[in-house]
């Protein structure tokens, strides 16, 4: 799955973040924000966009340091110029490096060294750490002291998709700011305003519910087409019209995160089918029911096995998100496809 790729100089305020932004500004101007904030919420609702905006504003020389400072970054001070150039010396982003999915201790040591210096341009230093749940234990331990006793005037802005997966020692040292997803209407409007047709916007949001930024990436990267290919092969495999090795070979070429996400969607639909949920409440509408009907003698699904498979897929998703999982894509796809076929009775 593609993650958000907001550039460091962009700090647009997403319309659904207006209330939270105003609250953060008011708190900073009245009594000061805590040194460690953790923005939490599902992927694609703008956690990184918000932390960049907060960072930009905290660093601006005309804004947050004064009680009567601006409630937006000014855009023309030395700090704002450096921010726009993407070379602010008092700002740092810490995220997985070198194709790793984890944040390792070396990266956190760099954060600690950075914060041990004094600010060069602004009144404070700001570090964004994302996503927090992929910090391994050593990295998390190395961050604890900094979270507890931040050096000088500094702010740590942490981003987490799964708050529950963040180590309790980290959680307890941050103030959590839970970001709410936009309403369906806000998401649709925002996506259309970015130049997408109403039909494209609603289709993208259907597969990326409440996550307009994810929906935007889904459109930009043509993921709809890939998802359709995945579904077609899944249908052929279910009906016994495609051999296992052909399906596995095609799936292995796709991004594992995407593939697992698509499995999860179909399995959720399958469970709803066994519970006789109406078709319009299903991600793929009537597709799965028709597929099963077309399987010879009208196949049904073994509910117990289905729940076990769904749990497996959720565990795989959790492992991928924590960055700790290492999978052999081919074996994993093979195993999931065989488990799926074993559900049909
Ligand atoms: Zn400024």
Tell me the per-residue pLDDT of 74-85, one tens digit each, with 9 for 90 and over: 999 999 999 999
pLDDT at 318: 85
For 65-122, what is each residue's pLDDT tens digit? 666 678 889 999 999 999 999 999 999 999 998 778 899 999 999 999 999 999 999 9
- DSSP per-residue string spanning 83-109: HHHT--TTEEEE---TT-SSB-HHHHH
Q: How far is the CA of 80 from the centre of ligand 1 (A)?
A: 4
Calculate how far, in angstroms, residue 245's C-alpha sits from the geometric centre of ligand 1: 58
The structure tokens 């289905």 sit at 306
What is the reported pLDDT for 4?
A: 39
CA angle, corner 186, sides to 182 and 189, nearest 5? 145
Per DSSP, the residues of 274-291 read HTT--GGGSTTTTHHHHH
Determine the Cα–Cα distance for residues 100 and 103; give it in Å rounded to an integer.
Answer: 8
What is the length of the chain? Answer: 345
- Provide the pLDDT for residue 66: 63
Longest dimension (CA), the chain: 74
The burial class, CB within 10 Å (0-12 / 13-18 / 19+), for 208 is buried
Q: How many Å lie between the centroid of ligand 1 and the Cα of residue 55?
A: 11
CA of residue 123 to ligand 1 center, whole Å: 12
**Burial class of residue 30 in the structure, from the number of CB atoms within 10 Å of its CB (0-12 exposed, 13-18 middle, 19+ buried):** exposed
Looking at residue 196, its pLDDT comes to 92
Q: What mean pLDDT do residues 270-297 have?
A: 90
**Alpha carbon distance 107, 323 (integer Å):** 15
Q: What is the rounded CA–CA span in Å between residue 33 and residue 116?
A: 20
- The residues pairing with 40 across neighbouring beta strands, listed in sequence order, are 160, 178
**What is the CA(8)–ligand 1 centre distance, in A?**
15
Pairing relationship of beta strands 125-129 and 175-178 according to DSSP bridges: unpaired
Q: How far apart, in Å, do the first and last CA atoms of the chain sit?
A: 32
Question: pLDDT: is 234 or 2 the higher one?
Answer: 234
Which domains occur in the chain, in start order?
Answer: 15-180 (3.40.50.300), 222-341 (1.20.272)
Give the H or E element holding residue 176: strand 175-178
> From ligand 1's centre to the CA of 77, what distance in Å?
4
pLDDT score for 298? 66
CA of 152 to the centre of ligand 1 (A): 21
Q: Where on the phi/psi map is residue 98: left (φ > 0), alpha (ψ -120 to 50), or beta? A: left
pLDDT at 300: 85
pLDDT at 168 over 50: yes
Q: Is 3's pLDDT higher than 70?
A: no
> Is the confidence at residue 154, as pLDDT, over 60?
yes
Question: How many Å apart are CA 306 and CA 312, to the nearest integer?
Answer: 10
Are the beta carbons of 59 and 83 closer than 8 angstroms? yes
pLDDT for 24-66, tens place per residue? 999 998 888 999 999 999 999 999 999 999 999 999 999 866 6
Distances, alpha carbon 219 to alpha carbons 199, 230, 264, 334, in Å: 12, 16, 20, 28
Q: In this predicted structure, what is the pLDDT of residue 328?
A: 93
């Amino acid at each position: 799955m593609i993650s958000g790729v907001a550039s460091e100089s962009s700090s647009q305020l997403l319309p659904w973040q207006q209330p939270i932004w105003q609250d953060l500004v008011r708190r900073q101007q009245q009594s000061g924000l805590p040194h460690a904030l953790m923005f939490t919420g599902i992927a694609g609702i703008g956690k990184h966009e918000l932390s960049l905006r907060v960072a930009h504003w905290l660093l601006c020389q005309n804004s947050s340091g004064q009680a009567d400072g601006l409630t937006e970054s000014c855009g023309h001070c030395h700090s704002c110029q450096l921010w726009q150039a993407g070379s602010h010396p008092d700002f740092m982003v810490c995220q997985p490096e070198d194709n790793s999915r984890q944040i390792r201790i070396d990266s956190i040591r760099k954060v600690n060294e950075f914060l041990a210096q004094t600010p060069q341009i602004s009144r404070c230093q700001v570090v964004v750490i994302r996503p927090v749940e992929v910090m391994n234990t050593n990295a998390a331990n190395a961050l604890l002291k900094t979270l507890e006793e931040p050096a000088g005037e500094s702010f740590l802005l942490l981003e987490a998709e799964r708050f529950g997966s963040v180590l309790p020692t980290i959680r307890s040292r941050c103030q959590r700011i839970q970001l709410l997803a936009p309403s369906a209407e806000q998401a649709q409007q925002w996506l259309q305003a970015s130049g997408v047709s109403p039909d494209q916007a609603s289709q993208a949001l259907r597969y990326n519910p409440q996550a307009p930024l994810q929906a935007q990436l889904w459109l930009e990267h043509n993921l709809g087409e890939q998802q359709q290919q995945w579904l077609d092969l899944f249908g052929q495999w279910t009906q016994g019209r495609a051999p296992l090795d052909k399906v596995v070979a095609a799936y292995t070429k796709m991004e594992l995160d995407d593939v697992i996400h698509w499995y999860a969607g179909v399995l959720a639909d399958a469970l709803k089918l066994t519970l006789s949920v109406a078709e319009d409440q299903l991600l793929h509408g009537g597709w799965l029911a028709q597929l099963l009907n077309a399987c010879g003698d009208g196949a049904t699904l073994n509910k117990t096995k289905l729940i076990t498979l769904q749990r497996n897929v959720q565990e795989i998703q959790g492992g991928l998100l924590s960055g700790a999982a290492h999978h052999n894509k081919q074996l994993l796809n093979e195993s999931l496809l065989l488990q799926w076929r074993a559900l049909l009775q």
